[in-house]
Structure 1
Amino acid sequence: MALHRWLCVAAAAASTAWAMDPEQLISAPRRSEAIPNPKGNVAIFSTSQYSFDTHSSSASWNLLDLKSGKISLLTNDSNVSEIVWLGTDKSSLLYINGTNADVPGGVELWVTDVNNFANGYKAASLPAAFSGLKAVITSSGDVNYVASGQSYANGTAYNEELATKSLSSARIYDSIYVRHWDTYLTTTFNAVFSGTLAKKGKSYVSKGALKNLVSPVKNAESPYPPFGGSSDYDISPNGKLVTFKSKAPDVPRANLTTAYIYLVPHDGSRTAEPINGPDSPATPEGVQGDANNPVFSPGSDKIAYFQMADKSYESDRRVLYIHTIKSQKTVAVAEDWDRSPDSVKWVDAKNLIVGGEDKGRSRLFAVPVNAKKDFKPKKFTDGGVAGAYYLLPDKSVLVTGSTMWTSWNVYTASPKKNVIKTLASANKLDAGLAGLGPDDIDEFYYQGSATKIQSWIIYPKGFDKSKKYPVLLFIHGGPQGSWADSWSTRWNPKVFADQGYVVIAPNPTGSTGFGQKLTDDIQNNWGGAPYDDIVNAFEYAAKHLHYADTSRAVAAGASYGGFMINWIQGSDLGRKLKALVCHDGTFVADAKISTDELWFMEREFNGTFWGERDNYRRWDPSDPERILRFDTPQLIVHNDLDYRLPVAEGLSLFNVLQERGVPSRFLNFPDENHWVIHQENSLVWHQQVLGWLNKYSGVSKENPNAVSLDDTVIPVVDYNP
């Protein structure tokens, strides 16, 4: 019902310039990638939506007509968690039903037809929670599939509902990597399981038990947490082989990024072996870093994958490799391309499509399999971020992407014709996003500390260049990261701008997508060149953007951006800003040793905590001389489940600001990690962050619709006399 309400009023609102507020952002429909059927005439996608009226979410699966762009409902059964097209049939579907009538905590596989979804049948009962379904029809007519789930060390699928509960809460560890991201490590791990549905007449039935393809390799894990998903593994088109990525099981995971790509028969008849391990005959020389995204060729005879060279650097440049299974030969493709691609699809045996960051966008590029070292791929998509893409029968590509002005944008493109046709866009479908468009954003280049730096500008509702608007400096995390032309449900620059700001979002030293040198130059330089680049962006705005009021400027950042906010607090720029917001930022230099991924800090600061302590302290926001300069009002957000940057960092900063008499507030979510994801928490996060900035910039006095700290619905604890 809520989805229908959004759709039916969108047309009437399309001509209105909307100011997007936090509740609109959070409650707007969120749609998945559009997955086309083999015939290429229709695609499926899921939609979820949160209601602040009912404080609950609804979900549905929908069909997108690839000729007309018309959207229709497939099912609103909330138990349907994943759907895949089955083989070459244009209408058969295989889906995961998120419940199991026979096994508590298990799931089921169902087969149905897109034209009669409600009349499907159960084909298999799975003994635990599984996701990431991939399936192919074999030459025998059977369906071979893979899916991921939790595993015990003996290979048995882990079912949380049926697991024996320990009488003690104790945890005991004999090696580092005690916890990662937001979870303490246990004896269970992620694994890829394979199974078969046998063809029986016109139906499919489960054949044999599931096979754990990962557990026979000691200490292997796939998908690799916290961000690993179905892109960490693939099943060959003929159904005979499976490939998966795992962090290297023979090196300490907390110290190195090394990962291997494994190859294993689908039936598990042999133990998986790495194609790029230290003893593998095809391993590229000197390449020891993270490997990911293995994808089989159409002929099932090759695997494309990416790998970094540096074994202790998560942001090294990814290079595309092609491994031939029979000859065990691996070759690099377009090896000298100064970009770091992150996704790949086979067009045919001779051509590939790769996606990757490029100058604040994520574009698609055409790459031949035999591309030489000096080959420079040509982009065929431009604006926004191409989040997912699928080859259509006519060799065009169905792309699902986003931009800063729309959360969901589905279009077709091809290397020869570039973008061909837009089929659907959220800002045309959803009333809460109506009025958003490309005119809401712009970009400029300015002189940084060593090179030209790109920055985005995001304009507020009803922007008038003859007027003045306070500047909001947006500082991205990473430190190797970027502000891209993409949608965000957490740090959405348009939501900030529509409070009444001109948002300046620079991509300073350390940013990705602008060449590897800019990315690498932040190493052991956290408060140097990046800070100078941000100062230069501020000064450029003051000098060249006549509508930008830098006398009332504020700044906000998260993760590394939070560190930079803390660095700014003790720097000259801090004296020019009215307020600061630090989300999950590091504060005390010596506290970096408490992180989970030690390789990150040891690479950034050129050594161990005890061997290179001066490097760790070189850019220390808590240095006493810097603390003596603190006087800008600051909000600190830090969450209990953030194990990458533990909560003590935020508390330490808050203690210092309070004792120094600097206006400050501490916002904490005990059930959130490095991000604030839960919708009700997100609404409070936005209210506090925007309210803090608005109070000190004066926006809350100018804009009666702006968020105000007076709107606080959570009790504020204050024991000061």
Structure 2
Amino acid sequence: MPTSSLCVWSPSTYISVTVRRAARLVLCTFLLSCVAAYLIDNMRVFQLTTALGSIIVSATALTPEQLIAAPRRSDAIPNPSGEVALFSTSEYSFETHATSSWWSLLDLETGKVTQLTNDSNVSELTWLGSTDSGLLYINGTNAEIPGGTEIWVSDTSDFVNSAYKAASLPAPLSGLKTAITKSGDINFLVYGESWPNGTAYNKELVATPLSSARIHDSIYVRHWDTWLTTRFNAIFSGTLKKKRAGPGATSAYTSNGSLKNLVAGVKNLESPYPPFGDASDYDISSDGKLVAFKSKAPELPRANHTASYIYLVPHDGSNKAVAINGPDSPGTPKDIKGDSSSPVFSPDGRHLAYLQMEDISYESDRRTVYVHTIDSKDTIRTLAKNWDRSPGAIKWTADGKNLVLNTEDSARSRLFLLPADAGNDFKPKNFTDGGSVAAYYGLPSGEYLVSSSAIHTSRTVYTAKPGEGVTGVVFSANEVDPALKNLGPSDADEFYYKGNWTDIHSWIVYPSGFDKSKTYPLLFYIHGGPQGSWGDSWSTRWNYKVFADQGYVVVAPNPTGSTGFGDKLTDEIANNWGSYPYDDLVKCWEHVRDNFDFIDTSRGVAAGASYGGFMINWIQGNPLGREFKALASHDGTFVADAKVSTEELWFMEHEFNGTFWDNRENYRRFDPSAPEHIKQFATPQLVIHSDLDYRLPISEGLALFNILQERGVPSRLLSFPDENHW
């Protein structure tokens, strides 16, 4: 999935998804919105659907409250010997209206979980070098600097009493990455906002300005949910010196507090790139000497292009960062100008692998694997160039001979093995199958410790090995969390049907206590993107199971525009927003009506967010809209000409084959607000929109609601003044 789109998966801090497309592509907080309104109004937001009749919900059903309150776990990070793994958990309480968090150790042989610390200030806990018990972490507070953070060292044997502060950081910095140098020091990287002069930005130390006015003299004044300023994200490097505390004492680490801004040396560089950029946008070599990072192309207007490059810079900042694949770089592959991502050094530090798209203005273009040789300025090799899949994350095997790719494939996220010398026609083979991989780490055994999720579980930790597949399951949330204990693989199925021009995939998710001899109303899911997909994954936003457990059968198709099924299906939606995808959805509805006797399509609801919200609005004004009892659109476009008010103009200009002034008819071809469509509006509709959505401004939701009300269509507007697009 793309790193930014009309609708981006952006899972919570504690449910990290490595495949960033989306991550990242967030299919917005429609569920959370409904629950919030329910709590506030003491009524169901879906009151519009009372015409559906009474729905009997099983006593074992997953409720919205249980979904929100269920534990959320980070990926499991193994220690060097592969005996135990670290992971964090957060949990929301409806009684206290607060979230608690803690860190635990997972025994990889027995699956036993032991709490390590419940200090909510501890974050980014990771292993200290090659030690099996030493730990490094970010402390979210700073005893000396308001708004600052600290780096601490501790040990699993006695986390509290062995902990000590190793470095004071002047701002809310995060994204800790480390490498042990030849002398035993720890070179580290963190990131945060930077002032134009290169110093770290700390909101707590900034005086309140006398005026709130903004002034801009170039394009790109706001992004997703933020008005842009002269500040930018930057990577800061530092060193923890290894010292002895005295005769017979153990080694200790300390820092003089100095940090070097590695991004500020070149005008207009920024890394990680907001709002979804994180520590996967940069890497440090195993010897701690070199840093690689991604930055948007500094010479191009960011509102009009997706281009970004991979830069190399010494950790000590002794030289300015240099792009290895920029327009003037000697090794840049010909005609490859799109977004670069996921730089990662080989274990020996001699090579750097990364991903890059070809098109300079298409966020969902296919990513291809490239490998740069560090000591050669003009050597960049392409691997598996003709593979019709788009990797989202990349890691080297311990011997440096292969790469392991996390790749979306047929509504799942799977791990694939790719030899480092693979040719253009090589087709990688997956060694994981079901679910969606969130993170993966190599083990001494040659296996990988995989953190995953699926439709039926929020977290599974298992081991897998190239050539062998899954070798063992260590932990599964649906076996330990009370709210999830009745969930299992049988809760979901999938089917293919004939779409507009090819076979189309769809999920079908059953309510608890499902009885095939009975009938259930339909909940028809439409995903965002538009280049996105419904995957075999868990979500705290659009969770198939919690909707199904309100008494529906959920059908979630992956029509034209969906990712993970090859380039053609993804690319064909461009300039066809209301044609091929709409036809695919109509045919899916017809297939369900004609083939699933347990689904009552005469009592159906359709819901979608972002592009899915657009499609709901399009359906409202077309024949399919009359087949549903109610519709729900979240942050969708409505007025065709309003698309120009978005911030990343390259998105619209790609999707509609040109600029607003030269190709306006393309923008208007599929206009839900056209009179001929408005005059068909008749189905009750819930409209959800957020004030901080600068991607698709709230005026779109207001315009839609105004029209529905003036047309006499039963409708409700749910808005949030402090929420954004996702």
Q: Answer yes or no: same fold by TM over 0.5.
A: yes
Q: 8 Å contact 1:20–1:494 — kept in the other structure? A: yes
Aligned-partner Cα distance in 2 for 1:116–1:304: 38
Of 208, 211, 217, the residue aligned with 1:174 is: 217
Deviation readout 1:379-416 (Å, 9 max, x if unpaired): 10000100100000111000001001100110000112
Aligned-partner Cα distance in 2 for 1:63–1:531: 48
Aligned-partner Cα distance in 2 for 1:439–1:553: 23
Q: 8 Å contact 1:75–1:117 — kept in the other structure? A: yes
Check if 1:187 corresponds to 2:235.
no
Q: Which residue number corresponds to residue 133 of structure 2?
A: 91
State the shift of 1:55 in Å.
0.5
Q: Partner of 1:668: helix, strand, or coil?
A: strand
Q: Which residue number corresponds to residue 317 of structure 2?
A: 268
Deviation readout 1:51-109 (Å, 9 max, x if unpaired): 01000010000000111110000000111022111111111111111100111111111
State the shift of 1:553 in Å.
1.2
Aligned-partner Cα distance in 1 for 2:535–2:429: 19
Q: Which residue number corresponds to residue 96 of structure 2?
A: 54
Aligned-partner Cα distance in 1 for 2:602–2:184: 70
Q: Which residue number corresponds to residue 118 of structure 2?
A: 76
Question: What letter is aligned with 1:51?
Answer: S
Q: Which residue number corresponds to residue 217 of structure 1?
A: 266
Q: Which residue number corresponds to residue 293 of structure 2?
A: 244
Question: What letter is aligned with 2:214?
Answer: R
State the shift of 1:165 in Å.
2.0
Q: Which residue number corresponds to residue 516 of structure 1?
A: 567
Aligned-partner Cα distance in 1 for 2:456–2:199: 46
Check if 1:227 corresponds to 2:276.
yes
Q: 8 Å contact 1:17–1:434 — kept in the other structure? A: no
Q: Partner of 1:580: helix, strand, or coil?
A: strand
Deviation readout 1:603-645 (Å, 9 max, x if unpaired): 0000000110000000000000110000000000000000000
Q: Which residue number corresponds to residue 78 of structure 2?
A: 36
Q: Which residue number corresponds to residue 158 of structure 1?
A: 201
Question: What letter is aligned with 2:436?
Answer: V
State the shift of 1:546 in Å.
1.0
Q: 8 Å contact 2:168–2:257 — kept in the other structure? A: no
Check if 1:126 corresponds to 2:126.
no
Higher RCO (CA 8 Å, separation ≥ 6 residues): 2
Matches within 5 A, 1:321-332: 321-328=370-377, 329-332=379-382
Matches within 5 A, 1:634-653: 634-653=685-704
Q: Which residue number corresponds to residue 17 of structure 2?
A: none
Aligned-partner Cα distance in 2 for 1:209–1:273: 23
Deviation readout 1:396-449 (Å, 9 max, x if unpaired): 000001001100110000112100111011111110111100000000000000
Q: Partner of 2:160: helix, strand, or coil?
A: helix
Q: Partner of 1:665: helix, strand, or coil?
A: strand
State the shift of 1:164 in Å.
2.4
Aligned-partner Cα distance in 2 for 1:480–1:628: 29
Question: What letter is aligned with 2:129?
Answer: G
Q: Which sits farther off after the overlay, 16-25 or 436-445? A: 16-25
Q: Which residue number corresponds to residue 40 of structure 2?
A: none
Q: 8 Å contact 1:81–1:97 — kept in the other structure? A: yes
Deviation readout 1:589-613 (Å, 9 max, x if unpaired): 0000000100000000000001100
Aligned-partner Cα distance in 1 for 2:217–2:127: 45
Q: 8 Å contact 2:167–2:257 — kept in the other structure? A: no
Q: Partner of 2:683: helix, strand, or coil?
A: coil
Q: Which residue number corresponds to residue 669 of structure 2?
A: 618
Check if 1:346 corresponds to 2:388.
no
Aligned-partner Cα distance in 2 for 1:418–1:189: 43
State the shift of 1:187 in Å.
1.4
Aligned-partner Cα distance in 1 for 2:69–2:345: 38
Aligned-partner Cα distance in 2 for 1:48–1:25: 13
Aligned-partner Cα distance in 2 for 1:249–1:68: 50
Question: What letter is aligned with 2:152?
Answer: W
Q: Partner of 1:289: helix, strand, or coil?
A: coil
Aligned-partner Cα distance in 2 for 1:115–1:392: 22
Check if 1:461 corresponds to 2:512.
yes
Check if 1:335 corresponds to 2:377.
no
Deviation readout 1:177-196 (Å, 9 max, x if unpaired): 10000000011111000000
Aligned-partner Cα distance in 1 for 2:393–2:186: 26
Matches within 5 A, 1:571-590: 571-590=622-641
Q: Sequence identity, in percent?
A: 67
Deviation readout 1:242-270 (Å, 9 max, x if unpaired): 01101111100000000010100000000
Q: Which residue number corresponds to residue 455 of structure 2?
A: 404
- Which runs of no fewer than 5 residues in structure 2 stay unpaired? 1-57, 245-250
Aligned-partner Cα distance in 2 for 1:473–1:107: 46
Q: 8 Å contact 1:18–1:433 — kept in the other structure? A: no
Question: What letter is aligned with 2:502?
Answer: T
Q: Which residue number corresponds to residue 480 of structure 2?
A: 429
Q: Partner of 2:205: helix, strand, or coil?
A: coil
Aligned-partner Cα distance in 1 for 2:661–2:680: 29
Q: Which residue number corresponds to residue 20 of structure 2?
A: none
Deviation readout 1:92-128 (Å, 9 max, x if unpaired): 1111111001111111111111111102111111111
Q: Partner of 1:157: helix, strand, or coil?
A: coil
Q: Which residue number corresponds to residue 46 of structure 2?
A: none
Q: Which residue number corresponds to residue 621 of structure 2?
A: 570
Q: Which residue number corresponds to residue 700 of structure 1?
A: none
Of 370, 377, 381, the residue aligned with 2:428 is: 377
Aligned-partner Cα distance in 2 for 1:208–1:548: 63
Question: What letter is aligned with 1:114?
Answer: T
Aligned-partner Cα distance in 2 for 1:287–1:143: 36
Q: Which sits farther off after the overlay, 643-652 or 108-117? A: 108-117
Aligned-partner Cα distance in 1 for 2:655–2:376: 39
Of 612, 628, 648, the residue aligned with 2:679 is: 628
Q: Following superposition, which runs of at least 4 residues in structure 1 exceed 4 angstroms of deviation?
A: none
State the shift of 1:207 in Å.
4.1
State the shift of 1:217 in Å.
1.3
Aligned-partner Cα distance in 2 for 1:600–1:171: 25
Aligned-partner Cα distance in 2 for 1:89–1:496: 45
Aligned-partner Cα distance in 1 for 2:276–2:647: 15
Check if 1:66 corresponds to 2:115.
no
Q: 8 Å contact 1:17–1:435 — kept in the other structure? A: no
- Which runs of no fewer than 5 residues in structure 1 stay unpaired? 1-15, 676-721
Check if 1:117 corresponds to 2:149.
no
Aligned-partner Cα distance in 2 for 1:23–1:218: 48
Q: Partner of 1:156: helix, strand, or coil?
A: coil
Aligned-partner Cα distance in 1 for 2:436–2:477: 14
Q: Which residue number corresponds to residue 135 of structure 1?
A: 178
Q: 8 Å contact 1:291–1:308 — kept in the other structure? A: yes
TM-score after normalising by structure 1:
0.91
Aligned-partner Cα distance in 1 for 2:587–2:275: 35
Q: Partner of 2:444: helix, strand, or coil?
A: coil
Q: Partner of 1:209: helix, strand, or coil?
A: coil
Matches within 5 A, 1:252-263: 252-263=301-312
Q: Which sits farther off after the overlay, 215-224 or 614-623? A: 215-224
Q: Which residue number corresponds to residue 661 of structure 1?
A: 712
TM-score after normalising by structure 2:
0.90
Q: Which residue number corresponds to residue 197 of structure 1?
A: 240
Of 67, 81, 90, the residue aligned with 1:25 is: 67
State the shift of 1:461 in Å.
1.1
Question: What letter is aligned with 2:382?
Answer: A
Q: Partner of 1:582: helix, strand, or coil?
A: strand
Q: 8 Å contact 1:48–1:57 — kept in the other structure? A: yes
Question: What letter is aligned with 1:314?
Answer: E
Aligned-partner Cα distance in 1 for 2:93–2:229: 35
Q: 8 Å contact 1:84–1:135 — kept in the other structure? A: no
Q: 8 Å contact 2:686–2:715 — kept in the other structure? A: yes
State the shift of 1:18 in Å.
2.4
